[in-house]
Amino acid sequence: MLVTSVAGSGILDRGKYGDVSLDGLGLAFAAKWPGAIHEGNGTVCLFVDERASQEQREALLEIGSGKAGGLPFEILATTFSTLLDPQFVPFSVTMNGLESSARLGDNFRIALEPIKNPVTGDVETITVSHGTGFIFKSAECASAKEGSVAIDKMKFSYPNKAGFVARIHYGN
């Protein structure tokens, strides 16, 4: 039986929602579906940087829940039947290419490392180009040496699975 679990985290270099600045704040999600994503019935939890003001929290939740419109959140929102209570947590994110990591409170961890050739141990350079992609157009592929989410109604761990590093530009 197929179960799909994903998690993603990012820091907004620059961003605004209306007149509300979102510069430097973190937004992340963890989601799980009982089958393929497009079949729906998924559960999602949004993680919001605890440093955000009430106005910024509301803006980030509007964006992450798809209510603000725009890709990819608007489309992903149609696949969720359950939206868990948001988690307002400290964000510790290190953007270092294929060795990036994120720790969000005690509930969410991602740590990447380069993919290595299983025979030689040499680092492999793999890039995905997805011209019609609505999440990213280009990304570097990594190994997610650590990936875990643990909140009351959602727990999963996926060490040594696929990970991606991308600079993403969203706009609405």
Q: What is the pLDDT of residues 81-124, one digit of tens each?
A: 999 999 999 999 998 989 999 999 999 999 999 999 999 999 99
Residue 37 falls within a domain, yes or no?
Answer: yes
Which of these, 107, 166, 148, lies nearest to 5 by C-alpha position?
148
Token pair, residue 47, equals 């993680």
pLDDT at 1 over 70: no
CA 155 to CA 150: how far, in whole Å?
Answer: 4
pLDDT at 172 over 70: no
Instruction: Judge if the upstream peptide bond of residue 72 is cis by omega within 30 degrees of 0.
Output: yes
CA 50 to CA 159: how far, in whole Å?
Answer: 26
Residue 171 falls within a domain, yes or no?
Answer: no
User: Are 61 and 48 in contact, with CB atoms under 8 Å apart?
Assistant: yes
Residue 31 falls within a domain, yes or no?
Answer: yes
Quickly list H helices, 8-154.
54-64, 73-77
Q: How far, rounded to the nearest angstrom, does the alpha carbon of residue 102 sit from its chain's CA centroid?
A: 10
Residue 172 falls within a domain, yes or no?
Answer: no
CA 170 to CA 29: how far, in whole Å?
Answer: 16
Residue 47 falls within a domain, yes or no?
Answer: yes
Task: Taking residues 152-172, report their average pLDDT.
Answer: 81
**Domain residues for 94?**
4-165
pLDDT at 167 over 90: no
Q: How many domains does the chain have?
A: 1
* Distances from the Cα of 25 to the Cα of 22, 66, 97, 168, angstroms: 6, 18, 19, 15
Residue 155 falls within a domain, yes or no?
Answer: yes
Residue 150 falls within a domain, yes or no?
Answer: yes
**How wide is the angle at C-alpha 123 spanned by C-alphas 121 and 127, nearest 5°?**
140
Task: Taking residues 73-88, report their average pLDDT.
Answer: 92
User: Are 61 and 88 in contact, with CB atoms under 8 Å apart?
Assistant: no
Which of these, 106, 143, 108, 129, lies nearest to 10 by C-alpha position?
108
> What's the pLDDT score for residue 84?
95
Residue 133 falls within a domain, yes or no?
Answer: yes
> What's the pLDDT score for residue 113?
95
